[in-house]
Structure 1
Amino acid sequence: EQHGPHLPVQVDERAVVDYGVVRQQGNGFDHEAYADPGTFAGADPDPTLDGGDEIAFMAKDAGAPAADRPDPAGVEPGTRARVEISDPLDPEADHVVYLFRSDGSLDPAAGRSYVDYDFALDSGAYKSTYDFNGVPNVEADAPPANPEGSTVTTPAYTQSLLSRWVTDGLTLRTGAAPSADILDGDKAQVGRGCLRSELTFSRGGGGFIANVSGPVRAIRSQIGANSGTYTQRDDVFYERRQDTFTHLRVHAGISQISQFRDYSANAIGMTYRNSAYPAGVTIDGVPDAGIPVPPGSTAMQPAVDWEQVTGAAGSIVTTTRIDTNLPGYTPGSFYRDQGASPTFGQCGGYADYLSYGTSGNELRSSGANTDPTLGSAYRLSAARTTFFDPPNGSAADAGRRADQVDAPLEAAVVAEEPGPPLLRLRPTGRKRRIEPGGRIRTRLLVRNRGATTATGVEVCARVPERAGSAGRCRSIDALRAGASKRVGLVIVASGQAGSPIRVTYRVTAENAERDRLAVTIRVER
């Protein structure tokens, strides 16, 4: 409704590729990745839309259902697909986007672009000039190999990208005027030091899987971090958000990893806070008792759900979620504001040696192998989400962003033609927790997404016998098309319940297929 019938949409091709070929060395393995004819990943062998590809559009462009409207010009007849977008944190706020197969006359960008990614390798064309082996003496305090002048620009921020693994500039654009560059570097360290860091990663061997710039989002997928030959990072840039996915693939012995943003002196006066210390402290290069620094060269600060850096220029909210089965995994955080006297390794080469609001996440583990080319391998993937928000944000704003990360928007393709009822279950509100022997009431939203009324509707819950039990089912005589109803079901934890409890909810009806929903409830002792 805001922009008219034609909205920006982007199709990103994915395919199974040989990472040895992508990395331009032997001993690779096959894995699905973004396709790019400009890299050695190559184009998707299937140029049509297939099950591995991704369709991206902005939820803000969605609107009300338009079943009564004819198909627009420029599309193939009979290809309408209705995509319903729902928000678990606001179950009543459903919106719709319609996708069509174009007849070739339409621009998928609809004359607009939310993000501009300019991949600019100093040496020239990627395939013919990139040095996949890096440079000797990677530990030297020297600039990265394969330097770039790449940038990502949106209405909310601008970032400068100096090389693989190295982001050395960030300007916020959500305030009254663009800020100065507030970033010294987006940094990574192994074992709290410069022996292995984002600088040595960039100076060592590696390459790019894909560089994609579209109207909805940009993708920068890279591979190779010193002896983490196939360690991979995918940065996906949106208008006001950046998703950073890091997949660790490295030999045994890497037991502590840090990822933090080190801000520049231009960030002085901004406020840093996190979920463990929501009151926040002022970034000024002077250690602040508001966030204690534990003794010891490798001691971690408490794990956090979110971080926020905010001021008159804008706000940055960051969340990090780790998926791993590594033994001994322990999450933590990192914060230092020490000016010219940092007590941790500050690696130069492209950055200064100062510490302003240096903050991010850390983890420890057994350091077991995660490289599948070296035999049996464990798994560790990190998803860091960064929001670029308006100025002078609050702790509540940051907490809301963390809730959105943990309960993301959902999209479902539904039939437009009249048909049977289509029942769907969705949890409402925040995730609940339970004590051993305790009971909680969980709330669900039952929605009929079909075209006819559902009759004899029943909602039930099932809990593993040793973990606890569920209360009685709830009945709904009739649920008309498009309607929804909230129901509450009681869950009881046994005295010996462990964490988490997996609850399976089921909705059935006399004239509709059933729907199931699995939810985990954390047990707190």
Structure 2
Amino acid sequence: MKMKKIFFVTAACLIIFSPLLAENNFSFARKYEPVIITGDQISELIGEKPSQIFGFVYIASEKRWKQIPLQVDERVLFDTSVKSKHPASDLLYVSDVPGKYGSMTMSDDNPNFDSNDEVVFMLEDAGNKAPHPDESWAADTEMHRVEIAISDPLDGGAKGYVYIFLSKTLRYTAGDEVSYSIVAPESEQATDIETDYYFVKYSRRWVLDEIRPKSALGGDNTDLVDRVKFRAYSRTPQNETEDIWSDGPGDCFMYDAGCSHYVGHKVGPVRAIRQVQGAASGPTTSYFSLFYRKMMTMQVNYRVHALPDLWFYMDYSKNIGEIKYYDEHNSNVKLDGQPENLQGNTPSSWSQASSGKGSLVLWVDIRQFASLPGCDVNSYYLDNSSFSDFTGEDNNAIGNHGVHIEEIPDTDQREAVISHIRLFMLPPNADNRGKEFDNVNWQAVTTSSTKQITTVTPPTAVSEGELEIVNSFQLSPAYPNPFSNSVNTASKSTIIQFNVPSPTAVQVYVFDIQGRRVRTLFHGMSDAGLQKMEWNGTDEMNRPLASGVYYIEVRTANKHQMMPVTIIK
């Protein structure tokens, strides 16, 4: 069967879009991060139309350009005050749907990219530094681009590059990272959020009660948590809980009328954003949840009267087997519902729970609370199956860990006290990586932007005539094979190629000789035709594997093939 295939021609090379591991040397923890750049940090894009902004990386090993997921999110500074007693203003993301403020938050007064809008992409996708603009350029784009150079201040050798091109004709082809669905009960804004790596469920506006690692992360879709919990005053049902904070919508000043409102959501190729306002007696407290490829973040803008106690903590499911706990002062603590005393008397900004069903690293930044006069901030931990805080499903305190804040002064003011919470999804039985995540979260990557102009007319997408495409699923031999994953050798990776006759879901796994999966190379939708990717002989934690025979498996819905590859030292 003969079909036409589209090629992209530049002065330097022939380009075919196919899934490929990005070429950068950032650390395991860094690669979880998004890179978020505001308009005031990238003035070269001010005034451009968001729909005409595209992200590319240059793959030096193949001398080609690859489009990557890149998202532009518009934001508006909005007065969120509730009556004159509760002044507030927040930067809200322009939403896909009407919420508390109706259509007023569904558009920006300035429809072009401006100083408070954001460009976001995943650090994991960064590539190589591109050749001179006259030597290589992405097809169907304008004659100027912006080079984003990314560096890790904790590792002087770690660098990556992303290039932003403008185009009036280009189509977005890099795929979607996150799906977001409002489900029943819709009046509570229950939501299912899903990436290739995990599934999360909110059953109410403030109630996050499912986190399920998927097979791409080595999980089997088992729910790890009973709930992610918020508490005020005390950990009893007579006081404020995430359920009470979810009550509404109401005006907050009538008896038994909760005041939480759904503000809206935005879904794009890099992240989904969920916005809620109101929590019991804090009608202008705002709750933002953002979902990325293998992590999620929560930002709570607190505005409330004085409080004696406030908690945020994880509560794990009793059905996920043995759990090991780690933090700044403790290692390999068994979470089994049996009380024990932990080491350390200073707060830990990170903690990790590892189980055979999946692992989570929790990181919190509550420096703004710590700076309040008289406010006391501590880590919180309780592992006691006899204790119940009366929310969730199992009525057990299984490995509760998070933060406890005491003696909070009145914060019911226009400027909120902001806390940041991040959850990183790791494979089952993950080794202790919490400190690594802690380090990179306290010190972000640095970025610099440079406008570049070509004097050569950019290439265009052209048909290269009738090309033969194999009308069947086919896995080609890897090369080189054997190969070495030693840093001292030239051939530090092997190339894997396979053909799919039509667009389909594809998984590419690596197994050791005992049949244990040691690496997921790809899990997602593949275009038709020849696909190419690279494996550098490392496991999910980016650690070099031992020498020996391994098996590459490429699987579609109804076909799969395997081939052996050998690592030598």
Q: Structure 1 length normalisation: TM-score?
A: 0.66
Q: CA deviation at 1:208?
A: 2.5
Tell me if 1:368 matches 2:409.
Answer: yes
Pick aligned residue for 1:284 from 329, 333, 336? 336
The DSSP-based 3-state class of the residue aligned with 1:267 is coil
Matched with 1:318 is 362
Who is 1:332 aligned against?
378
Task: Determine helix, strand or coil for the equivalent of 2:262.
Answer: strand
Instruction: Tell me the equivalent position of 1:57.
Output: 121
What are the equivalent positions in structure 2 for 1:84-483 lying under 5 Å apart? 84-107=149-172, 110-120=173-183, 122-123=185-186, 146-173=187-214, 175-193=217-235, 194=237, 195-203=239-247, 204-251=258-305, 253-277=306-330, 279-290=331-342, 302-324=346-368, 325-339=371-385, 341-342=386-387, 346-348=389-391, 351-365=393-407, 367-372=408-413, 379-395=416-432, 397-416=433-452
CA distance in 2, matches of 1:398, 1:361: 16
Instruction: Return closer, same or farther for 1:327/1:179 CA change in 2, 3 Å cut-off.
Output: same
In the alignment, is the contact (CA less than 8 A) between 1:248 and 1:381 conserved in 2?
yes
Measure the CA separation in 2 of the matches of 1:318 and 1:154: 19
Q: Match for residue 72 of structure 1?
A: 138
Checking the alignment, whether the CA contact within 8 Å between 1:284 and 1:356 is kept in structure 2 is: yes
Counterpart-to-counterpart distance in 1, 2:221 and 2:329: 28
Equivalent position SS for 1:400: helix
User: CA separation of 1:114/1:210 partners in 2, compared to 1, >3 Å: closer, same or farther?
Assistant: same
Counterparts in 2 of 1:188 and 1:246: CA distance versus 1, 3 Å: same
Match of 1:83 among 148, 162, 168: 148
AA matched with 1:247: N
SS of equivalent to 2:68: coil
The Cα of 1:104 is off from its aligned counterpart by 4.0
**C-alpha separation between the residues in 2 aligned to 1:160 and 1:37?**
19
For 1:347 and 1:232, the matched residues in 2 are separated by 25
Q: In the TM superposition, what is the alpha-carbon distance from 1:406 to its structure 2 partner?
A: 0.9
Counterpart Cα distance in 1 of 2:393 and 2:362: 22
Residue-by-residue CA offset, 1:250-299 (whole Å, 9 max, x unaligned):
12x2132110011111233011121121x23212222234569xxxxxxx
Alignment partner of 1:201: what SS?
Answer: helix
Q: Is the 8 A contact 2:338 2:383 kept in 1?
A: yes
Structure 2 equivalent of residue 506 of structure 1: none
Deviation (angstroms), 1:25: 10
2: CA distance between counterparts of 1:66 and 1:257? Answer: 50
CA RMSD, Structure 1 to Structure 2 (Å):
2.5
Match of 2:91 in 1: 32
Q: CA 1:213–1:25 in 2, change beyond 3 Å: closer, same or farther?
A: farther
CA contact (8 A) 1:323 1:380 kept: no
Change (3 A) 1:401 1:407: same
Given the superposition, is the C-alpha separation of residues 187 and 26 from structure 1 closer, same or farther in structure 2, using an over 3 Å criterion? same
Q: Secondary structure at the match of 1:97?
A: strand
Structure 1 stretch 400-409 or stretch 262-271: which is displaced more?
Answer: 262-271
In structure 2, relative to structure 1, the CA distance for the partners of 1:73 and 1:357 (3 Å cut) is: same
Measure, in 2, the Cα distance between the counterparts of 1:221 and 1:148. Answer: 11
CA distance in 1: counterparts of 2:349 and 2:96, whole angstroms: 38
Closer, same or farther: CA 114–42 of 1 in aligned 2, 3 Å: closer
Which residue type is aligned with residue 138 of structure 2?
P
Report % sequence identity: 26
Question: Take 2:341 and 2:290, find their aligned partners in 1: how far apart are those partners?
Answer: 36
- Over residues 175-219 of structure 1, what are the superposed CA-to-partner deviations in whole Å (9 max), with x where a residue is unaligned? 534242121111011122231111110112121233111111111
The separation in 2 between residues aligned to 1:386 and 1:197, in whole angstroms, is 21
In structure 1, the residue corresponding to 2:319 is in which secondary structure? helix
* Paired position in structure 2 for 1:450: none
The one-letter amino acid of 1:72's match is: A
- Partner of 2:289: helix, strand, or coil? strand
Residue 37 (structure 1) shift: 5.0
Q: Given that residues 119 and 211 in structure 1 are in contact (C-alpha distance below 8 angstroms), is that contact kept between their aligned partners in structure 2?
A: no
Match for residue 502 of structure 1?
A: none
Q: Label 1:46 to 1:326 Cα distance change in 2 as closer, same or farther (>3 A).
A: same
Q: Is the 8 A contact 2:67 2:174 kept in 1?
A: no
Is 2:61 the counterpart of 1:18? no
Please report how far the alpha carbon of residue 361 of structure 1 lies from its aligned counterpart in structure 2 after TM superposition.
Answer: 1.2
Aligned partner of 1:438 in structure 2 is: none
Kept in 2: contact 1:19–1:230 (CA 8 A):
yes
Runs of 5+ unmatched residues, structure 2: 1-19, 23-64, 248-257, 455-569
2:35 maps to none
| Amino acid paired to 2:430 | G
Alignment partners' CA distance in 1, 2:217 and 2:291:
19
Give the whole-Å Cα distance in 1 for the aligned partners of 2:394 and 2:426. Answer: 27
Shift of 1:352: 3.5
Instruction: Report which stretch shifted further, 3-12 or 235-244.
Output: 3-12
Change (3 A) 1:151 1:326: same
Which residue of structure 2 lines up, in the alignment, with residue 473 of structure 1? none
Deviation of the 1:409 alpha carbon: 1.8
Return the alpha-carbon distance in structure 1 between the equivalents of residues 395 and 356 of structure 2.
26
Q: Tell me, yes or no, if the aligned pair for 1:116 and 1:152 is still in contact at 8 Å.
A: yes
Alpha carbons of structure 1 residues 393 and 2: separation in structure 2 relative to 1, 3 Å: closer
Closer, same or farther: CA 30–330 of 1 in aligned 2, 3 Å:
closer
For the 8 Å contact 2:201–2:210, the answer to whether it is kept is: yes
The alpha-carbon distance between structure 1 residues 286 and 19, as it changes in their structure 2 partners (threshold 3 A), is: same
SS at match of 2:338: coil
d(CA) in 2 for partners of 1:313, 1:56: 30
Residues 29 and 318 of structure 1: is their aligned pair in 2 closer, same or farther, counting only changes over 3 Å? closer
CA distance in 2, matches of 1:362, 1:101: 47
Q: Which runs of 5+ in 1 are unaligned?
A: 124-145, 293-300, 419-525
Cα gap change, 1:86/1:121 in structure 2, threshold over 3 Å: closer, same or farther?
A: farther
TM-aligned CA deviation for residue 119 of structure 1:
2.8
Shift of 1:414: 2.2
How many angstroms apart in 2 are the aligned matches of 1:267 and 1:347? 20
C-alpha change, 1:111 and 1:200, in structure 2 (3 Å) is same
Which residue identity does 2:231 align to in structure 1? Q
- Where 2:67 maps in the other structure, the secondary structure is coil
1:9 aligns with 2:70: yes
Q: Report the CA distance shift for 1:171/1:37 in structure 2 as closer, same or farther (over 3 A).
A: closer
